Amino acid sequence: MNYRRLGRTGLLVSPLCLGTMNFGGITDEPTAFQIMDKALDAGINFFDTANVYGRQVAEGATETIVGNWFARDNANREKVVIATKVYGQMSDWPNMSRLSGVNIRRACEASLRRLQTDHIDLYQMHHIDRDAPWDEVWEAMEMLVAQGKVVYVGSSNFAGWHIAKANEAAKRRNFLGLVSEQSLYNLMARTVELEVLPACRDYGLGVIPWSPLAGGLLGGTSTEGVRRSGERQQKIIERNREKFDRYEKLCADIGEQPANVALAWLLSNDAVTAPIIGPRTMEQLDGALRVPDIELSDETLKTLDKIFPGPGGEAPEAYAW
* Residues known to be catalytic: 53
Concatenated DSSP letters for 192-241? GGTTHHHHHHHHTPEEEEESTTTTTGGG-TTSHHHHT--HHHHHHHHHTH
Cα separation, 36 vs 46, whole angstroms = 10
Q: Which sign, positive or negative, has the C-alpha torsion 277, 283, 286, 288?
A: negative
Nearest to 150 by CA among 111, 192, 189: 111
The half-sphere exposure of 231 on its side-chain side, counting CA atoms within 13 A, is 0
Chain centre distance of CA 222? 25
* Cβ proximity of 132 and 93 under 8 Å: no
DSSP code at position 118: S
Check if the beta carbon of residue 294 is closer than 8 Å to that of residue 268: no
In a 3-state reduction of DSSP, which class is residue 36? helix
Helices 29-41, 61-72: crossing angle, 10 deg rounding: 60
